[in-house]
Structures are given as structure tokens and as C-alpha cells.
Amino acid sequence: MLQRDIYPKDFIKEHFIEKLGEIILIDPYMSFLLVCSGIEFLGKCIDSKCEWRKPGLSKKHFENAIIELFPERYHDLRKQMYSNLRCGMVHMSGPGTIIVTQNKNDPYGVHPYKKHPDYVKTDGKELKVFVIEYFYFDFVEACKKVLSKDFEFGDKMNDSFLCVGPVASLIPKDKD
């Protein structure tokens, strides 16, 4: 494999749309973690004032991506999604107070897409239910919105942000 520069839009297409779509079929549970990380990435993409590696903006980028790129039915949930779903999955591999599932666990269609994210009442509490196939569909639509944007000259979105390849190709060679 040769060394290769990866641009943000290519990363979105290759990893968030193509590869993550395959991972959902193999490991739906861990896919929630990847979608949540991807939402934060999309938020960073649309923040023209922020460089790639600036720390401390996870919440801002996640919530801004929900507001700017996701359907309105997610907007009021953005804080709960960040604290429970995103932070829960990233920091402890558990979704906090949000129930995560997949379509095959809903054979009677109790949680259809038009109601997603849905809720269930249990022990007097109302818990949000996220179905990975619906969540991923909305995530892909958010990705497409970023892909369709034209970014100004000099914006980080027009520059390579990641280099992959053999480590040996990154080490300068000695001059004879």
C-alpha cells in the first residue's frame, strides 16, 4: 500500500457511507459508537472557524451537526443524544438512558421510521429508542449535505487531513 492523503469528503464517502454501512450489518451495537463519532466529525467539518485538531469542542460540534444536518425531530434531543448516546458509547461503550436496537428486534413495526427516534415507557420513565438502520439513514443524509457543500478556498475541508500508508514511507531517508 502506498502512502495516501485523505481529504475530508473522501473520508466521509469511504468510511461513513460505504464502510459503516457494511459494519451495521455485522455489528449494529458498535455502529452506534461510530455514527456518534461521525456526527461529531460532520460538526467539525461545517465549523469553518475550527481547525481539525482543536480540542474541547466535541459537544459544540455534535450538537451543531444535529441542528444543521439532521431532521428537526432530532433537534430537541441533541443534548440527551450527546450526553447519553455519544458520551455513553465513546466513554463506556453503553448508551446511557437511551435504548439502542435494530430493525430485526422490532418484528411488529412498533418503532417505524416516521416516529424515529421513538420512545417507550417503563417504570414510569420515558426512554428514547434509537434503531440503528433509521439512525444510520439520517446520518447518511447528513453526510450528503456536507458532501454537497462548497467550501471556500483555504477552508480545512479542501485540504488533506489524514495520511495513511506504511510507516516506512513517512520516515525521511538518509542522504548518502
- pLDDT tens digits for range 56-98: 999 999 999 999 999 999 999 999 999 999 999 989 888 888 8
Instruction: Identify the pLDDT of residue 41.
Output: 97
Say if 2 falls within a structural domain.
no
Assess whether pLDDT exceeds 70 at residue 1.
no
Say if 102 falls within a structural domain.
no
Say if 159 falls within a structural domain.
no
Assess whether pLDDT exceeds 70 at residue 132.
yes
Around Cβ 65, how many Cβ atoms within 10 Å? Answer: 26
**pLDDT, tens digit, for every residue of 23-64?**
999 999 999 999 999 999 999 999 999 888 888 999 999 999
Say if 28 falls within a structural domain.
yes
What residue numbers bound the domain in which 28 lies? 8-95+132-149
**pLDDT, tens digit, for every residue of 138-168?**
999 999 999 999 999 999 999 988 888 776 5
Q: Which backbone phi and psi does 67 adopt, to 5 degrees?
A: -65, -45
Say if 119 falls within a structural domain.
no
Say if 40 falls within a structural domain.
yes
Q: How many domains does the chain have?
A: 1
Say if 175 falls within a structural domain.
no
Say if 108 falls within a structural domain.
no
> Model-level pTM?
0.89
